[in-house]
Amino acid sequence: MTQATAIYGELLRRLDSEGRLRRIPAEYRPGMVDLCSNDYLGLATRMQELQAEFGRRFGDAPMSSSASRLLSGRQRHYAMLEERLGDLYRRSALLFNSGYHANTGCISALNHPGTLFVCDKLIHASIVDGLRCGGCEFTRFRHNDMEALRKIVAKKSSDYDRLVVVTESIFSMDGDEAPLRELAEIKRSNPKVMLYLDEAHGFGVRGDRGLGLAEEQGLMGEFDILILTFGKAAASSGAAAVCDAEMRDYLLNTARSFIFSTALPPACAAWTYMMIEKIEGMTEERDRLKSLGEEFRCQMPPHAKELCPSTSQIIPFITGDPVKAVELARRIGDAGYLALPIRRPTVPPGGDRIRLSLNAALDIGRLSTLFDILESYETGIS
Ligand SMILES: Cc1ncc(COP(=O)(O)O)c(C=O)c1O
């Protein structure tokens, strides 16, 4: 440690003393119940069978693109996936290397003089980073508060050429849903409003064909840009922006995370293509996930239920304190469940929690010890 680097050690020790030190978790122990991954449809639990099928059908897909998309001669598998997404959404699609790349790239690319970004208070860090990277002017409205949003739109629309309203369909930490119908009404009532919806946690999980919450509500066409991510329900990696053809051309000319980064391996695009084929027909898994969520919330202790805004597969158990969240995660882990603590800055101060993430392959019968632990945490009797 030199004088120049000593400060980083000090900062680390401060994080530790506040219960906010992050550590990479251990590998699953055999038999552990997964309550932390975003494998909502349980596709990742079928890897052996799916990888065998992939080998037969796409075994020749390259493991490296060897260049950014705009400089690569290997396009076939990306084009196949983008065309499939285009058919499903009846729009155009542009692939990104991850949801993080998609949000940072698209949000900063949309910045142009005369643009105000109007964002839900709880938007994902990748969107916040996009606002920062792009030097965007932005304001925030209280989480899911459409009255507050309407007021901002009314007040600001004469000062700007466009107001880009940014939100998530299913919120990554609270598991609640954005009021899409009201957002669409706000857009219809003001031609300066443009809608940007991150479907990271809705894609695969909601809608008849798993296209997301906007599909479920018959509102896909209302959103100027939909962001899909493939590292969650699709058991893959990467992301896509779904938009009209002109916007796609604009993004591929301006989104820096698209232009200046080596494209994901073509094999990954082929894998996502195959996963999307499966996802379309996984209605039973979607129904099961929905009822698992309902059943889980029913069995939560009363106070935790009161604090839980979730209407989806993502269920927060709020401790309100980082040290308590870490300690509870440890107890849960010792009992054979992998569920991890989420602390500031991922959630606002006082919102420390265990994020419980359900998947369609989960046997709720295996959760009785978990419910006992949560109950005893709440009552203080263990
Ligand atoms: C709402 C939301 N958007 C974007 C991302 C980033 O996606 P990726 O993991 O593909 O980078 C996440 C990831 O957690 C997310 O929750």
Tokens encoding 34: 């997964």
Per-residue confidence (pLDDT) for residue 20, from 0 to 100: 87
Give 316-328 pLDDT, tens digit per residue.
999 999 999 999 9
Ligand 1 nearest atom to the CA of residue 123, by list position:
1
Kindly list the distances between the CA atom of residue 204 and the CA atoms of 38, 43, 151, 209, in Å, as whole numbers in the listed order.
Answer: 11, 11, 33, 8
The reply to whether 9 falls in a domain is: no
Averaged over 24-50, what is the pLDDT?
Answer: 93
Which residues are known to be catalytic? 38, 124, 168, 172, 198, 201, 232
Range of the domain at 338: 28-43+282-379
Do 224 and 269 lie in one domain? The reply is yes
Distance (angstroms) between ligand 1 centre and the Cα of 95 equals 14
Mean local confidence (pLDDT), 25-48: 92
User: 3-state SS string over 347-362?
Assistant: CCCCCCEEEEECCCCC
Boundary (domain end) residue, out of 253, 280, 307: 280
Does 192 lie in the same domain as 145?
yes
Summarize the confidence of residues 274-279 as an average pLDDT.
Answer: 98
Domain boundary among 238, 263, 280: 280
Q: Which of 170, 172, 347 to mutate to test ligand 1, by most ligand atoms within 8 A of the CB atom?
A: 172
- The tokens for 225 are 């840009």
One domain, residues 314 and 197: no
> Tokens at residue 67, please?
């260049």
Provide the domain count of the chain.
2
Q: Is 202 left (phi over 0), alpha (psi -120 to 50) or beta?
A: alpha
Global pTM value: 0.96
What atom of ligand 1 comes closest to residue 101's alpha carbon? 11
Residues 181 and 233 in one domain: yes
Residue 246 has pLDDT above 60, yes or no: yes
Please write the tens of the pLDDT for every residue from 95-113: 999 999 999 999 999 999 9
Cα-to-centroid distance, 155 and ligand 1 (Å): 31
Confirm whether 13 is domain-assigned: no
Tell me the C-alpha distance between 297 and 287, whole Å.
16
Pair 124, 257 in one domain? yes
Question: Around Cβ 177, how many Cβ atoms within 10 Å?
Answer: 21
Q: Whose CA is nearest to atom 16 of ligand 1?
A: 172
H or E stretch at 228: strand 225-229
Residue 264 within any structural domain of the chain: yes
Q: How open is the CA angle 195-200-204, to the nearest 5 degrees?
A: 110
CATH of the domain at 292: 3.90.1150.10
Bridge-partner residues for 338, per DSSP? 34
Instruction: Tell me which of 14-23, 173-182, 314-323 is least confident.
Output: 14-23
Of 280, 313, 334, the domain-final residue? 280
202 and 239 together in one domain: yes
Ligand 1 centroid to Cα of residue 339, in Å, is: 18
Same domain? For 270 and 286 the reply is no
pLDDT at 381: 58
Q: Does one domain contain both 257 and 286?
A: no
Atom of ligand 1 nearest to the CA of 237: 10
pLDDT of residue 138: 98
pLDDT at residue 145, as a whole number:
98
pLDDT exceeds cutoff 60 at 382: no
Percent of the chain with pLDDT over 90: 90
Q: How far apart are the C-alpha atoms of 126 and 119, rounded to whole Å?
A: 13
Tell me the angle at which helices 245-254 and 99-110 cross, rounded to the nearest 10 degrees: 100
pLDDT exceeds cutoff 70 at 131: yes
Examine the pLDDT at 231 and tell me if it is beyond 80: yes
- Residue 208's contacts (CB-CB under 8 Å, 6 or more residues apart) are 215, 216, 283
Which candidate, 206, 226, 204, 279, places its Cα nearest to that of 92? 226
Q: 256-271 pLDDT, tens per residue?
A: 999 999 999 999 999 9
| Mean pLDDT computed over every residue of the chain | 96
**Tokens 């980082």 belong to residue:** 322
How does pLDDT run across 132-167, given as a tens digit for each residue? 999 999 999 999 999 999 999 999 999 999 999 999
CATH code at 259? 3.40.640.10
Q: What is the pLDDT of residue 2?
A: 86
Which secondary-structure segment (H or E) carries 149?
helix 146-156
Residue 226 sits in the same domain as residue 295: no
Cβ-proximal residues to 131 (8 Å cutoff; 6+ apart), any chain: 107, 108, 117, 119, 138
Within 6 A (CB) of ligand 1 lie 98-100, 103, 124, 126, 168, 172, 198, 200, 229, 231, 239
Q: Are both 275 and 298 inside the same structural domain?
A: no
Q: Residue 273 domain-assigned?
A: yes
One domain for residues 292 and 225: no
Minimum mean pLDDT among 20-34, 99-113, 173-187: which range? Answer: 20-34
Domain identity same for 107 and 188: yes
